[in-house]
């Protein structure tokens, strides 16, 4: 794997940041590194510059929540790779979500969405949860205020001027301001959140060097001793990828040994992973491996934010899981019967753990975190 990825450096271009451009729609093109496949876009929601820009306004607009208090961006902040820095997210009415807000780095390539839901496969469908979900309430849009929220957009004559923006994005429609189109526009915006210009990518392109510690960490990461690459080894540093040319899409979920309540293998409710949907014992504690791109800024870690630092994540993997000696979740996760075989005691010295952390920090893409095209359009005005 290391050799395969390192070999890609030969394809790197010259001085430009993103080395290849491909188009999938008449008036849209992607700027991607050569080793990123073309993103998959649903046939009924083609990309356009107007739609993406409308989606950006909506993503950052608090008026889109029932009580006008929270935007998508309230839980998905650009400077934090579109997560929020909290262990568990807090919704527009103050309700605490059982899980942490996910980063949205390269979300277009995720074969399934959210921490542990094999059946959620499009951004359009996923968005119904933050918009309309009631357990917990996130944006708090419901039958009583659905029309009120749309009317706010219809009445808008300020900088965002939604009536014109919706007409430009959906030119064939007489009444384009609808929930269906809100969802399409935000999805199109999210598909543009592509990160491929970290120091690691620049190194692959032959445009920068990495330190000895970073190179040692990379070798460990992609090697059989630390085994990280089995679940985080794709170009996106995860193991669930879908793209325009996908034929077979694999959607693994893994139990990494975070819990083992009372020695039964159980994880705390309602965070039992895929088990919450299937109630099958073998799905206990199984979650989707997150992309590790920009992981330096996405703390705290894991679905419930219970690991604070990258150093602690490495200690956790080196131990082959987490032992919780006391309290309601007491139990030795290292011995969880449903844990993946790929997570086990690793003989990793402190130096080796530190090297892997150094490597992970090369995945930070400062352009992505500050790109004006992903930024809050209201702040700019
Ligand atoms: C209250 C905070 C909050 C708000 C507001 C919010 N989200 Fe999220 N988001 C989360 C949490 C928490 C998750 C993980 C959900 C889970 O696993 O159950 C998530 C997951 C996601 C994912 C899945 C990412 C992945 O890698 O699979 C997407 C996409 C997303 N949110 C988009 C949005 C959009 C679009 C909006 C606005 C319409 C929004 N979110 C509003 C907290 C929030
Ligand atoms: C068996 C598959 C598997 C292996 C092997 C694996 N991981 Fe993970 N990783 C996961 C899963 C699944 C999660 C999410 C777990 C959760 O949230 O409960 C995760 C989460 C993480 C996170 C937290 C990311 C975030 O945004 O919260 C980091 C960092 C990480 N892994 C790094 C590593 C490193 C470094 C290694 C090698 C030492 C490694 N992983 C090995 C599957 C794996």
- How confident is the prediction for the chain on average, in pLDDT? 93
Q: What is the rounded radius of gyration, in angstroms, for the C-alpha atoms of the chain? A: 21
Average pLDDT over residues 339-350: 97
- How far is Cα 295 from Cα 157, in angstroms, rounded to an integer? 39
Write a three-state SS string for the chain: CHHHHHHHHHHCCCCCCCCEEEEEECCEEEEECCCCCCCCCCCCCCCCHHHHHHHHHHHCCHHHCCCCCCCHHHHCEHHHCCECCCCCCECCCCCECCCCCCCCCCHHHECCCCCCCCCCCCHHHHCHHHHHCECCECCCCCCCCHHHHHHHHHCCCCCCCHHHHHHHHCCCCCCCCCHHHHHHHHHHHHHCCCCCCCHHHHHHCCCCCCCHHHHHHHHHHCCCCCCCHHHHCCCCCCCCECCCCCCCCCCCCECCCCCCECCCCECCCCCCECHHHHCCHHHCCEECCCCCCCHHHCCCECCCCCECCHHHHHHHHHHCCCEECCCCCCEEHHHCCCCCCCCCCCCCCHHHHHHHHHHHHCCCCHHHHHCHHHCCHHHHC
Examine the pLDDT at 11 and tell me if it is beyond 90.
no
Ligand 2 site, residue 363, Cβ cutoff 6 A: no
Average pLDDT over residues 11-19: 42
Confidence tier at 50 by pLDDT (50, 70, 90): very high
Domain ranges (residues) in the chain? 25-194, 199-366
Question: Of residues 5 and 300, which shows the higher confidence score?
Answer: 300
Using CB distances shorter than 6 Å, the residues near ligand 1 are 70, 72, 74-76, 89-91, 97, 99-102, 104, 107, 110, 113-115, 123, 126-127, 130-131, 138-139, 186, 190
Q: Report the residue among 228, 291, 304 best suited for mutation to probe ligand 2: largest number of ligand atoms under 8 A from its CB.
A: 228
Average pLDDT over residues 113-117: 98
Q: pLDDT tens across 162-210, in order?
A: 999 999 999 999 999 999 999 999 999 999 999 999 999 999 999 999 9
Examine the pLDDT at 376 and tell me if it is beyond 60.
yes
Q: What is the pLDDT of residue 207?
A: 96
Ligand 2 site, residue 345, Cβ cutoff 6 A: no
Q: What is the pLDDT of residue 23?
A: 60
Q: What is the pLDDT of residue 26?
A: 62
Examine the pLDDT at 5 and tell me if it is beyond 50.
no
Q: How far is the CA of 341 from the centre of ligand 2 (A)?
A: 13
Q: What is the pLDDT of residue 89?
A: 97
Fold observed for domain 25-194: Cytochrome Bc1 Complex; Chain D, domain 2 (1.10.760)
Q: What is the pLDDT of residue 6?
A: 39
Of the listed ranges 9-13, 186-190, 318-322, the one predicted with least confidence? 9-13
Q: pLDDT tens across 220-237, in order?
A: 999 999 999 999 999 999
Q: Which ligand is nearest to the CA of 294?
A: 2
- How far is Cα 194 from Cα 119, in angstroms, rounded to an integer? 23
Examine the pLDDT at 158 and tell me if it is beyond 70.
yes
Examine the pLDDT at 10 and tell me if it is beyond 50.
no
DSSP bridge pairs for 30: 22
Q: Whose CA is nearest to atom 33 of ligand 1?
A: 72
Average pLDDT over residues 290-297: 98
Do 25-194 and 199-366 have matching folds?
yes
Ligand 2 site, residue 203, Cβ cutoff 6 A: no
Average pLDDT over residues 32-61: 97
Q: Which CATH number applies to 199-366?
A: 1.10.760.10
Q: Report the residue among 39, 62, 101, 104 best suited for mutation to probe ligand 1: largest number of ligand atoms under 8 A from its CB.
A: 101
Average pLDDT over residues 300-316: 98
Q: pLDDT tens across 59-81, in order?
A: 999 999 999 999 999 999 999 99
Examine the pLDDT at 8 and tell me if it is beyond 80.
no
Q: How far is the CA of 101 from the centre of ligand 1 (A)?
A: 6
Examine the pLDDT at 1 and tell me if it is beyond 90.
no
């Amino acid at each position: 794997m290391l050799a395969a990825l390192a070999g890609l450096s030969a394809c790197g271009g010259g001085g430009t940041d993103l080395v290849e451009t491909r188009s999938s729609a008449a008036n849209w093109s992607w700027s991607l590194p050569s080793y990123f496949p073309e993103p998959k876009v649903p046939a009924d929601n083609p990309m356009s510059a107007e739609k993406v820009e409308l989606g950006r306004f909506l993503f950052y607009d608090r008026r889109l929540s029932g009580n006008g208090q929270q935007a998508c961006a309230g839980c998905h902040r650009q400077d934090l790779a579109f997560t929020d820095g909290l262990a568990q997210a807090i919704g527009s009415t103050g309700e605490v979500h059982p899980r942490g807000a996910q980063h949205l780095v390269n979300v277009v390539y995720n074969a399934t969405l959210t921490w542990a839901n094999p059946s959620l496969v499009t951004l359009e469908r996923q968005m119904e949860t933050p918009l309309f979900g009631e357990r917990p309430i996130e944006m708090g849009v419901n039958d009583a205020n659905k029309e009120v929220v749309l009317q706010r957009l219809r009445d808008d004559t300020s900088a965002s001027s939604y009536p014109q923006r919706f007409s430009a994005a959906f030119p064939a429609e007489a009444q384009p301001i609808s929930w269906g189109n809100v969802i399409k526009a935000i999805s199109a915006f999210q598909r543009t959140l592509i990160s491929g210009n970290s120091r690691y990518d620049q190194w692959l392109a032959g445009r920068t060097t990495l330190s000895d510690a970073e190179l040692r960490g990379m070798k460990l990461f992609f090697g059989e001793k630390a085994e990280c690459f089995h679940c985080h080894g794709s170009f996106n540093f995860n193991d669930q990828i879908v793209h325009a040319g996908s034929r077979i899409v694999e959607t693994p979920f893994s139990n990494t040994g975070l819990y083992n309540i009372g020695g039964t293998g159980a994880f705390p409710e309602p965070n039992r992973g895929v088990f919450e949907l299937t109630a099958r014992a073998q799905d206990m504690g199984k979650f989707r491996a997150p992309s590790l791109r920009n992981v330096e800024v996405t703390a705290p870690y894991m679905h419930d934010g219970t690991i604070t630092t990258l150093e602690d994540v490495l200690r956790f993997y080196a131990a082959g899981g987490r032992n919780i000696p006391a309290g309601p979740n007491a139990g030795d996760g290292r011995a969880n019967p449903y844990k993946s075989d790929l997570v086990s005691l690793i003989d990793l010295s402190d130096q080796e753990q530190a090297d892997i952390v150094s490597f992970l920090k090369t995945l930070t893409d400062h352009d992505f975190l500050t790109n004006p095209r992903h930024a809050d359009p209201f702040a700019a005005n």
